[in-house]
Structure 1
């Protein structure tokens, strides 16, 4: 296909990403409500490390909780680390939650 086909693919992928984001946001809202946690849920396009640090300032957060993929030093050097960036730049305490290791 030509440029038109490529544009169709981009629109399809974009629509799928938005659908998945809506599912994640809906699940987060349900989890908060089910556990009597009052939270703010926003979907913002952008580089995650900057979006998170800006949200901390916007909402005057006391704590930022981020996940960690558990990459080694070499992968972190090439890919960067959102959690590492936030730990050094967010203007509040940062809790980094690692994914549990599978039980053998």
Structure 2
């Protein structure tokens, strides 16, 4: 398994967790919260965070992490809610499995 990223698309990762892969899905996939440092989608607001699904395909771009289906312009508390919703589990966010290289 590939190590979870500390940055993706140039954005610092605040939290990341792997999600289970199903048949036909990439083994390396997960959910991340990043800081929206350029604010182009939500100019003028505070605490700009993005939640993305991520995946690494070893056959594309040397296996680089790719982000998709982002939710933009989130407060930290809303980003945590979306992060939990996007995990493929009905359990609470398993904080013991969450990788967090940066603190909000």
By the TM > 0.5 criterion, same fold? no
Instruction: Give the TM-score of the pair, scaled to structure 2.
Output: 0.27
Q: Tell which has more relative contact order, 1 or 2 (C-alpha 8 A, sep 6+).
A: 2
TM-score normalised by length of structure 1: 0.27
Larger radius of gyration: 1
- Normalized per residue, the structure richer in strand is 2
